[in-house]
Amino acid sequence: MDINTARMPARGQASSFKKVEGAKGFMKFKKLFYSQKVAPYVFVVPFVLSFFFFWVYPLITAFTMSFQDIGAIKSDWVGFANYAKLLKDNVFHIAVFNSVKYMFFTLVLLIPFPMLFAVLMDSNLVKAKGVWKAVLYMPALTSVVISGTLFRLMFTEYTTGQMNMVTAALGLGTYKWLKMGWSGMLALLIVACWRWTGVNMLYFLSGLKSIDTALYEAADIDGASSWQKFRFVTLPLLKPTTVYVLTISVYAGLAMFLESYMLWAGNSSPNNIGLTIVGYLYKRGIEKNDMGYACAVGVVLLVVALIINFAQLIFNGTFKKEEQ
């Protein structure tokens, strides 16, 4: 008998053994993958990795760079020199004031009115609710570049601009809308309301859907008016949604940049009336290539946003333990 022929069964057995072992290993891996203890971590891993590489790592790097004077070839450690320079930088102070003012007015406009629209949309007073939801949400889908350009043409100082046509028709004359402080801020707020009213309204609508209708029925039995039901039922139960919208609106207001950039067709508005903190960061970091100083501006922006949000969360009782 040929020696090679005699060895063939042994080889076949070894191959079968490897297949069996491979199948067992795959089944063990599959069982581990579908385990109730392991599966949650598998789904969380992509978020953890993206959070680390796209938020934690850039944050640590930016914080480190804020203590450096970064040049084209080398970087020098300068300590707190960049932060000391910020304290004396009048342009930075103007940018902070503009951002805080913009944030304040957006909170005043983009929380109560979307809440009111959501309550009306949830009532029986409005017909074709799906159409109105689509109409109010559509601006959020529009590119900021396109919307900013359109609003810049609307607020132009020429007589052909829509705002000047309206004021001229009312006998109020024409204005240089984007060259005055109050009118420039008005233009930014109109853009913000146009873009985000529908989004916040949907947030509040989702919060209203979670309220038990039995509470309103009980209020009707007790003879409560529409205002009393809104005051004592809707508002308290909408608090989690309100806190969420307030939190994201604080950050969005302080971090606003592209709307201002497009409205003034650049980062240089008259007397810096449209300059924001992020706009100043862009000016120093990208336009003037002073990345160390720009990182210091970014760290200050993060600290201001955290302070304001933590203050309002504490004020709203978010961190209080629920009573047993």
pLDDT in tens, 222-263: 888 888 888 899 999 999 999 999 999 999 999 999 999 999
| C-alpha dihedral sign at 75, 80, 85, 87 | positive
pLDDT of residue 2 exceeding 70: no
Q: Which tens digits make up the pLDDT trace of 84-131?
A: 999 999 999 999 999 999 999 999 999 999 999 999 888 888 888 888
Sign of torsion, CA 95 97 100 103? Answer: negative
Q: Residues with Cβ < 8 Å from 111, sequence gap 6 or more?
A: 200, 242, 245, 246, 249
Give me the DSSP letters along 248-277: HHHHHHHT--HHHHHHTTSS--GGGTT--H
Give tens-digit pLDDT for 158-179.
888 899 999 999 988 888 999 9
Residue 245 CB neighbours (<10 A): 23
Spatial distance between the Cα atoms of 101 and 95, rounded to a whole number of angstroms:
10
Residues of the chain with CATH 1.10.3720.10: 84-315
Q: For 84-315, CATH number?
A: 1.10.3720.10
**What is the overall mean pLDDT for the chain?**
86
- Mean pLDDT across the stretch 204-221? 90
